[in-house]
Structure 1
Amino acid sequence: MAGKREVWLPSRAVMTAFWRFHRALVRYSGRRLGLWRARPGREGAMWLTTRGRRTGSPRGVILAYIEDGPNLVTLAMNGWGAAEPAWWLNLQAGPDVTVDLPGGPRPVRARAARGAERDRLWDLYRRIDPKLDAYARLRPTETAVVVLEPR
């Protein structure tokens, strides 16, 4: 059907309100609540701290992730909106960052997966969410698969 979306997303206002609540929960609990480890077949939630590429100020964001060996993998999708997420632009300018996981902080270096590696990691995510390709089609550009390697 022309004009009908393949997948449903809540409004941007609802997503933004949820993100703000989730961030507040993590901040005010001292990162004891709102973060969880990835498990087979299920994403985890981590706190990523970047530096603003223009201001140099610390910026925190909660991201879903999966594990691929020692690496953490996330998608730069900004709620499936058209714009690149600010955290991804910040990572491109300064790839050495820290993530907070339930077991404590971990220093990592970020990079975009390319080629066969990107395809393999995208397929891992697709196993968790069979609608991943439909969500990705909501964006005008390819969604970056971001690899966070231990450093």
Structure 2
Amino acid sequence: MKPPPPSSPYWKFHRQLARFNKVVFRRTKGRLGGTFAGSPVLLLDHVGRRSGQDRTSPLIYLDDSPNLVIVASKGGVDAHPSWFHNVMAMDSTEVELPGGIRRRVRPRVAEGAERESLWARLVDLYKPYEAYATHTERRIPVVVLEPA
């Protein structure tokens, strides 16, 4: 089973839910919207490569202190999500953690043994990642956000 195309009603609903999550997260400093299905959520700021507009994506994260780890899961069968391309084109950006804590971070993609170790921990944190990986033809990037 392939994920729905990016223009489907599913993805429109997904984008609306993400916008709602961002508003709730920011207004309550993460007391609401700071978790999804029991997993911690951060807000990742990025700039659209084509539009130049500021964007924010709520994403499940793994605290691998001092780093934060996120996964570029829902993009499509053969395409990474737009936030992944946007953030990888930036030298650094900011994330917002529950409590209103903001951190400046530098993104990089984990490779090899580091990726495998982090992937296993991310799947333990949020089981649907494993199922989603079987429905895509791409290797899902694990992104390490290092302190900038």
Same-fold call, TM > 0.5? yes
Q: Aligned to 2:61, what secondary structure does the other structure show? A: strand
Greater displacement, 18-27 / 136-145 = 18-27
Matched, 1:35 2:63: no
In 2, are the aligned partners of 1:66 and 1:74 still within 8 Å (CA)?
A: yes
1:113: which partner in 2? 110
Instruction: In structure 2, list runs of 5 or more residues that go unmatched.
Output: none
Which amino acid counterpart does residue 73 of structure 1 have in structure 2?
A: V
How far does residue 78 in structure 1 lie from its aligned partner after superposition? 1.7
Greater displacement, 70-79 / 107-116 = 70-79
Structure 1 residues 148 and 29: alpha-carbon distance in aligned structure 2, compared to 1, 3 A threshold = closer
- What is the alpha-carbon root mean square deviation over aligned residues? 2.7
TM-score, length-normalised on structure 2? 0.79
After TM superposition, what 4+ stretches of structure 1 lie above 4 angstroms from structure 2? Answer: 9-12
Q: Given the alignment, which residue of 45, 64, 85 partners 1:89?
A: 85
Matched, 1:20 2:19: no
How far does residue 25 in structure 1 lie from its aligned partner after superposition? 4.2
Matched, 1:123 2:82: no
Q: Choose 1 or 2 for highest CA Rg.
A: 1
Instruction: In structure 1, list runs of 5 or more residues that go unmatched.
Output: none
Structure 1 residues 18 and 92: alpha-carbon distance in aligned structure 2, compared to 1, 3 A threshold = closer
2:44: which partner in 1? 48
In 1, are the aligned partners of 2:73 and 2:132 still within 8 Å (CA)?
A: no
Q: Which has the higher contact order (CA 8 A, sep 6+)?
A: 2
Q: Aligned to 2:69, what secondary structure does the other structure show? A: strand
TM-score, length-normalised on structure 1? 0.78
Matched, 1:73 2:61: no
Corresponding pairs, count: 141
CA–CA distance in structure 2, aligned partners of residues 102 and 29 of structure 1? 8
Q: Aligned to 1:119, what secondary structure does the other structure show? A: helix
CA–CA distance in structure 1, aligned partners of residues 72 and 21 of structure 2? 22
Percent sequence identity over aligned pairs? 35
Matched, 1:64 2:60: yes
CA–CA distance in structure 2, aligned partners of residues 111 and 149 of structure 1? 8
CA deviations over 1:83-107 (Å, ceiling 9, x no partner): 2101100112114000011132111
Which amino acid counterpart does residue 34 of structure 1 have in structure 2?
A: G
How far does residue 52 in structure 1 lie from its aligned partner after superposition? 1.6
